[in-house]
Chain A
């Protein structure tokens, strides 16, 4: 079994005691004298230590930081031991709105409803209550509607490190298109031609 160097041990102590992801900045502040890059190397050593020496926890990059998490294999055991209640899963409607916001942020309610074709007020409230989205500003448009964006908790909930890690494939080209200014233009001109006829 490999033994950890003092810096790796220091990081292990800090990460073990934390109940949220710690950023690289926070970790580097623990040992200001350490040369640049040393902390990252020590972190890699700690990660390998957990991965190859048979540990039930792992170092996970999460929401822009690092956190020690138990491995998925032990999910049931951990939940039983702590009599834990899982957060209720997000409904399909909630996930659709969340997906729209994640890719189009900052985005207003009207655009979300345009894409989903359905009233989304209640769903947005749920997402806000669960801390997954927040108001990030106001549009310059008529009535200056609120614009929504995702929170760090959103990244944590999905186990992502950064928004650039969102699943992106070539097939998503339409969903990734920026906001259309006048989505109904095509429809109206079509209607006009009907009236002419």
Chain B
């Protein structure tokens, strides 16, 4: 960050005080922008020869000459310097300032840097307001040392093994026939109707258990002489009717 390097770079170089500034720049464009600003130069009209020399000197002095990115920028600057020294040939109208690309990149980078500073301001403002349930990060605890003897290990294995269930190969399920419930339903229907179609005993989507329960209940009630079951023709639906009063009285 250029703000971390208040002293002029040239002074830093002379005094050998570059160690402080070593990490002060985020990259070659940052360093270049710093030089341009320090010399109060118009970015659009950079004196390439002078800036290239200063850039090289700064790279050496700041100990940045190991960083490929800085060397690449140094190369670009030297190339630019050479291009500008060459005599122009042909029409002046066709001439494009070779510095244009560098200027565009510098301006772009300058804006990114401004946004980055704005981001830092925003983050700082946000970090001063706290939401609920904030937990400070847990302290770094060293992992517990692992010590175990053979007996403990075997006991642990046994605990795991006994916890494994033995495989189930088959299971017999008794179907819960509800004959009593069906009897109650039949009695309720008989109290209201003289006779009714037996299918009224079943719900909308009867299960096989419901059907069997209803049939068993019908047979049971018929046996006790409480109802009579009639079928007009084979395979016709069953009609359940009240048993005549006298026979009911007779059985009672």
Contact = CB atoms under 8 A, between A and B. Distances in A.
A13 interface: no
A99 interface: yes
A20 interface: yes
B1 interface: yes
B209 interface: no
Contacts, number: 138
Interface in B134-193: 134, 136-137
A157 B248 CA distance: 86
Contacts of A171: 111, 114
Given A20-B131, A190-B83, A197-B86, 5 more contacts: A72-B125, A78-B130, A95-B116, A99-B116, A174-B111
B109 A158 contact: no
A142 interface: no
B129 interface: yes
B112 A116 contact: yes
Nearest to A167: B118
Interface string B97-116: 01011001101110111111
Nearest to B104: A174
A42 B96 CA distance: 62
A129 to B, nearest CB: 13
A116 B109 contact: yes
B120 A89 contact: yes
Interface string B24-48: 0011110000000000000000000
Interface residues of A, number: 56
Contact of B69 (A85, A102, A117, A187): A117
Interface string A153-197: 000111110000001000110110100000000110011011001
Interface string A25-60: 000000000000000000000000000000000101
Contact of B83 (A70, A84, A118, A194): A194
A117 B105 contact: yes
B26 A93 contact: yes
B86 A17 contact: no
* Interface of B: prevailing SS: helix
B127 interface: yes
A58 B124 CA distance: 17
Contacts of A157: 123, 126
A86 interface: yes
Contacts of A194: 79, 82-83, 86
A97 B68 CA distance: 19
A9 interface: no
A82 B129 contact: no
Give 8 closest A-B pairs by Cβ, nearest first.
A118-B27, A19-B133, A159-B126, A95-B116, A75-B128, A72-B128, A175-B111, A117-B29
A184 to B, nearest CB: 8
Contacts of B89: 197
Nearest to B115: A99
B41 to A, nearest CB: 18
A84 B1 CA distance: 28
B211 interface: no
B94 to A, nearest CB: 10
Contact of A175 (B98, B108, B123): B108
B112 A175 contact: yes
Contact of A117 (B27, B83, B116, B124): B27
Interface string A85-97: 1110110110110
A68 B112 contact: no
A175 B210 CA distance: 76
Nearest to B126: A159
A190 B98 CA distance: 6
Contact of B134 (A72, A82, A186, A190): A82
B132 A83 contact: no
**Chain B CB within 10 Å, residue with most, of A68, A82, A85, A96:** A96
B137 A85 contact: yes
Contacts of A16: 132
